[in-house]
Structure 1
Amino acid sequence: MEAPASDVARAQGAYIARPAPPGPDAGGPPPGPAAARSEDSRSRVASLLKLGLFGWLCWWFIRYYEIDRSLRNEPGAPRISATWLGLALCSLLPFVLVYLYASVWRRRILREPLDLQNWQAGSSSLVHAATIGLLFAWIFAAIALFPGYGLGSLLIVAVVTICTVAMVDAAEGVL
């Protein structure tokens, strides 16, 4: 049996007129500054942990494959091509400059939003130069390590690249 229309209308009116719970979605007051500080401190701690973890992993790979001994030209250590390694470092410059321009200058100093998900906005020549520079750096670093390590050099370069990008991301989260 159906309820009379007046009972349904009264129930709907009572439901609509009830007080909304406080919160940003319900039109209530936003969370206080203490909640924002707490979230910011948790984010910084997570970034510090990430920085430490990937820094340690990168250091371990360098020590395990004796890259530090190779760079010091110690006897018995595999030889690394300094020319190719220098080319790899020079190829990183466009990537570093574009990263500093986009992340530090535009986002931090000018307070402009940085939309990296919008491919049309990100297809500028600066982004292409940075990407090509990073790709060349990766290739040159792999070639520099090949004489001493064989195919293991690809693993070394991949892990060091991932660790470096993660450490830069974590350092940005700390700042």
Structure 2
Amino acid sequence: MQLRTNLPGSRGLEFLHNAAIRTGVYTGICLSLVFTAWLVIANQVPFLERFAFERNVAAAGVFVFLAAVPVFRFLRWPGNLLASSLIGWMIFTLVYRVLCLIYHQLSSGLRSPFQVFVVGVMTYMIFTTLSWIGTIIQRARAADIPHSKQGRADTR
């Protein structure tokens, strides 16, 4: 027998029962935390300046890995992939906008928040489109279509 506990305030988290939304929220939070830590370490820890290249490569690697989580999780479900990735990227873009208010050189030196949003959305849209095409090919190959020559008139 399964025992469900309904804690006070747990009704507000009902939307997290959807895997795509949950993955998107977690991905957005993780991307935001990694980027914020990367930015704070780069600007506030001067004794690590001699390791700037290594720091940037490590942070970019973690960032790309976390950004790829929705792609790997929902590779066969393009709709969930699109929803999850857009939710995650929207959360990251909002945090990026707040960081632009704190670090003024961020939006002028790198990209504006709108440009960051568009680059992320376009990247995820490419992966979603490739996933959709792959799903169509897989379904077409799995379909049991008889290839009979009956009923076709020879017009030669």
What TM-score range do you get, normalising by the shorter chain?
A: 0.3 to 0.5
Greater relative contact order: 1 or 2 (C-alpha under 8 angstroms, separation 6 or more)?
Answer: 1
- Pick the structure with more helix per residue: 2
Point out the structure with max Rg over C-alpha.
1
How high is the TM-score relative to the length of structure 2? Answer: 0.34
